[in-house]
Amino acid sequence: MLKVINVVGARPNFMKVAPIVEAMKRRATEFAPLIVHTGQHYDARMSDAFFLDLGLPEPDVYLGVGSGTHAQQTAGVMQGFEPVVFREKPDWVLVVGDVNSTLACALVCSKMGVRVAHVEAGLRSRDRTMPEEINRLLTDQLADLLLTPSTDADENLRAEGIPSSRIRFVGNVMIDSLFAQLERAANSKVREELGVSGTDYAVLTLHRPSNVDDPSAFGRIMDALEQLCKRLPVIFPAHPRTLARLAEFGFAQRVAHARGLRLIEPLGYLDFLRLYSGARLVLTDSGGIQEETTALGIPCLTLRENTERPVTLKHGTNTLVGTDVQRILRAAHAALDTPRINGPQTSTLPLWDGHTADRILDALIEEQG
């Protein structure tokens, strides 16, 4: 039996780890899973609700690291995680995604000689100003087993000199969570509560420092939103960081006066899934939402100049628009003028089939020998 520590730190991690832990519990004769929550996302709205919605068990260990600079947060996770690894002596530590907790835990394990598996390995934006890109690059150098969501990720890793023996193409585990939770999300009344059931509306998420910490970039996005919300309602579940910047930059008044732009508190996973799965258009600077909207056939405008998920551009519904007002509006109106796509759109995306978690476990067993 393999003892596996599954590390979570921020919301995108929860969606990736939930189906993996569920599969480990289903295969209880092969796996003994532990969950370590670093506390990188420390707000209950950003963390506790996602555990509940995804059916994740309570963490076995909670490090409570909280906020801070990248260095403070990474160091805090390392200091808290090292004694956990020493005490538990796992066969594997499984890290997911590209947050600070991912790199910190991989680095601890590398120095302690504990094997690391990286889920969602090989994604690259080619933009080293993104902290996540640094985390991705370094984690992939440290990990013993690289579990990739798409074939372009395999190519990226091989181009960086990583041997094929360390790479396994397993598919996109985010889609496991998406497909598993769609039916449960149908019970949510969030569309009715917001008054958008049966109507066209857009959903916006915004949290990247390059967008929300720069008043010029944030201002351009606001300019576009003020125009777009004249055509259809825009629902904006606001990240705490984004709310703080809205007030700091004086944009809160603009939001209040933009008829059709609806600012709401962050939603749990099921409510958010129910909300955006019915949207006519999604605008985001998130990574995972680019994949989920592609899987559901929902037009997505990514408010960035690059993406580590190019498969969503080539085979999906994603368009890069940056923060240029006219690019955003042209792409938005083009999407809205195109007939709606109905149903999942994963046939051209290999292994986006809802069974990635079991392939991850098979790879761990195979690697164990």
Cβ(46)–Cβ(243) below 8 Å = no
Tell me, which fold does domain 182-336 have in CATH?
Rossmann fold (3.40.50)
pLDDT digits (tens, 9 = 90+) for 8-65: 998 889 999 999 999 999 999 999 999 999 998 666 555 667 778 888 888 999 999 9
CA dist 13 and 97 (Å) reads: 6
User: Would residue 239 show up in a list of annotated catalytic residues for this protein?
Assistant: no
* Residues in the chain, overall count: 369
User: What are the structural domain ranges in the chain?
Assistant: 2-171+353-368, 182-336
Backbone φ, ψ for residue 249 (5° rounding): -90, 0
Read off the pTM: 0.93
Same fold, 2-171+353-368 and 182-336: yes
Could you identify the residue written with the tokens 């409570």? 64
In CATH terms, the superfamily for domain 2-171+353-368 is Glycogen Phosphorylase B; (3.40.50.2000)
Residue 355, CB half-sphere, CA atoms under 13 Å: how many? 5
Catalytic residue among 41, 207, 239, 315: 207
**What's the confidence (pLDDT) of residue 344?**
63
DSSP bridge partners of 96: 119
Q: Do 201 and 280 meet the contact criterion of CB atoms below 8 Å apart?
A: yes
Condensed to tens digits (0 to 9), the pLDDT of residues 108-154 reads 999 999 999 999 999 999 999 999 999 999 999 999 999 999 999 99
Question: How many angstroms separate the CA atoms of 5 and 85, rounded?
Answer: 8
